[in-house]
Amino acid sequence: MRDDSQILIGALEELQPTVNFASHALSPAGTVWGPRINPDYQFFYLLSGRAAIVIGGDARTIGPGECALYGPDCPHSITVLEEAVFIGIHFLFRRASPVPVHPAFSIQEASEEALAAGRRNSCRLALEGGEELELPPFMAIPGLEPILMRIVKEYMNEQPGYAMLLRSLMTELLLMTVRSRLADRPKSAEHSKIEPALQAIHREPEKNWTVAELAALCGYHAIYFSSLFRKCTGDNPKQYLISQRIRKAKYYLLSGEKMEAIAERLGYTSVHYFSRNFKEETGLTPTEFKQQ
C-alpha cells in the first residue's frame, strides 16, 4: 500500500523535466536555509563539507557525494555544519515548456512545528513491467558532479537553445539517479542479509570496522558473514571498506583538501598508508588523480 506522502511522478520514459534554477556555491559553517517550502523539487548535492538536513520531520547529516531530494509542499531546512561546497537544482519532473521559471518569489517560510510534523513526500517513478522505484529524500550517489556542473554552466550562460539542453541534461541526471538506485537495491535474499553492514560502511567509512563488528550487525558468525559478503559484493569486508574510503577521498581531493586532512578524516594512521591504498584502488597517486 502506498503512503499518501509518496508522490507517483509517472512513467520514466514520459518525463519532461524543466530546470528552474541551478547554482554552485560555497557556504560557511552556520549558514541556514529554512524552515521553508518550495514550489518545485530541489536536488541538493554536497561536494564537500557537511550539512544537516530536515525533510518532513526526517533529520539526516550528509557528506560529500550524498544528496537530498524533496518536493513541493514539503517543509525542510538545511544547516551547514562545516564549510560546504554544494550544487542545488530546482526543477519539475514534467512541464510542457522547458523555459526556467525562477522559484524564489514562490518559496514560503514554514514553522518549526510544520517542519517536525511534515511528511517526506518521497517520489516514485513507474518502470517497465508495472514496477515502481522510489527516489527517497536522502541518497548517496557518487560521480554526479560532472553532469551537475554542466547543468549549472548551461543555466548561467543562457546560450541559444539552453532551455532544451537543460531538459536533456536534467533527463540524463534523473536517469543516472534511477540507475544508481536500481544498482543499490538488494539483488537477492542473500544480499539483504548483509545490508546492515553495507549501510554501516557507507555511513562511517572512516571507522576501522572489524569483521566481527560488521558480522554482529547482521547477526552472523564472522566466518559465515565473510563468505556471504564476498559472494554478494565480490570483495572481502576490508577491501570493500577501503573502496568506500577511496570513493570519499576523491571528492575531498577535488574540493581542495590537503592529503593529511583527508587521511585523518578517513581513519588512516598515515598519509603514506592512505596514498598506497589510493593508488592500489585507482592506479594513480592522490596527486596524479587531482591533476587529471
Please count the other Cβ atoms lying within 10 Å of the Cβ belonging to residue 150.
Answer: 16
Query: What pLDDT digit, counting tens, does each position of 27-58 carry?
Result: 999 999 989 999 999 999 999 999 999 987 78
Any alpha helices (H) in the chain, and if so which ranges?
112-117, 145-157, 162-184, 189-193, 195-203, 211-218, 222-233, 237-254, 259-265, 271-282, 286-291
Query: What pLDDT digit, counting tens, does each position of 109-128 carry?
Result: 988 888 887 665 678 888 76
Asked whether the predicted pLDDT for residue 185 surpasses 70, the reply is: no
Give 120: exposed, middle or buried? Use CB within 10 Å, 0-12, 13-18, 19+. Answer: buried
Query: What pLDDT digit, counting tens, does each position of 195-225 carry?
Result: 899 889 988 888 889 999 999 999 999 999 9
CA 16 from centre of chain: 22
CA gap 10, 160 in Å, rounded: 30
CA 227 from centre of chain: 29
* Averaged confidence pLDDT in the chain: 88
Asked whether the predicted pLDDT for residue 74 surpasses 80, the reply is: yes
Which residues have C-beta within 8 Å of that of residue 147, sequence separation ≥ 6? 169, 172, 173, 176
- Total residues found in the chain within this entry: 292
Residue type for position 56: G
CA gap 142, 144 in Å, rounded: 6
Domains of the chain, each with CATH number or no CATH: 7-184 (2.60.120.10), 189-291 (1.10.10.60)
Amino acid 40: pLDDT: 94
Instruction: Name which of 271, 217, 280 is nearest 246 in CA terms.
Output: 280
